[in-house]
């Protein structure tokens, strides 16, 4: 999907005095996984709440399940989710 691109600080990237546009799937996955329920006004139930899961000492199975559910709800096909805390790697496509 093509959309606005954000940098590592979640600031909009400006290129040639305009918003940068590019493939946004990886940043959408990142935002979905990090988001908490209620973070998105239009979609209040959106968010896998990874930080809550990690701090709550959720199992690897629970983390994978919650991430998979959120991404599937947003139209992603999961290829692989690797959990090796504190790192979680997600490979998914639309």
pLDDT at 72 (0 to 100): 96
Q: How many helices (H) and strands (E) does the chain have?
A: 3, 6
How far, in Å, CA of 40 to CA of 32, rounded? 10
Predicted confidence band of residue 90 (pLDDT cuts 50, 70, 90): very high
Q: What is the pTM of this model?
A: 0.85
pLDDT in tens, 56-83: 989 999 999 999 999 999 999 999 999 9
- Contact criterion met (CB below 8 Å) for 36 and 20: no
Whether residue 1 has pLDDT greater than 90? no
- Contact criterion met (CB below 8 Å) for 35 and 48: yes
pLDDT in tens, 19-43: 999 999 999 999 999 999 999 999 9
């Amino acid at each position: 999907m093509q959309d606005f691109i954000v940098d590592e600080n979640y600031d909009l990237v400006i290129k040639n005095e305009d918003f940068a546009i590019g493939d946004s799937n990886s940043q959408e996955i990142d935002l979905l996984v990090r988001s908490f329920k209620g973070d998105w006004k239009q979609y209040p139930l959106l968010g896998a709440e990874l930080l809550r899961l990690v701090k709550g000492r959720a199992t690897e199975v629970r983390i994978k399940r919650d991430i998979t559910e959120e991404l599937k709800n947003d139209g992603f096909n999961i290829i692989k989710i690797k959990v090796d805390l504190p790192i979680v790697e997600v490979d998914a496509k639309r």
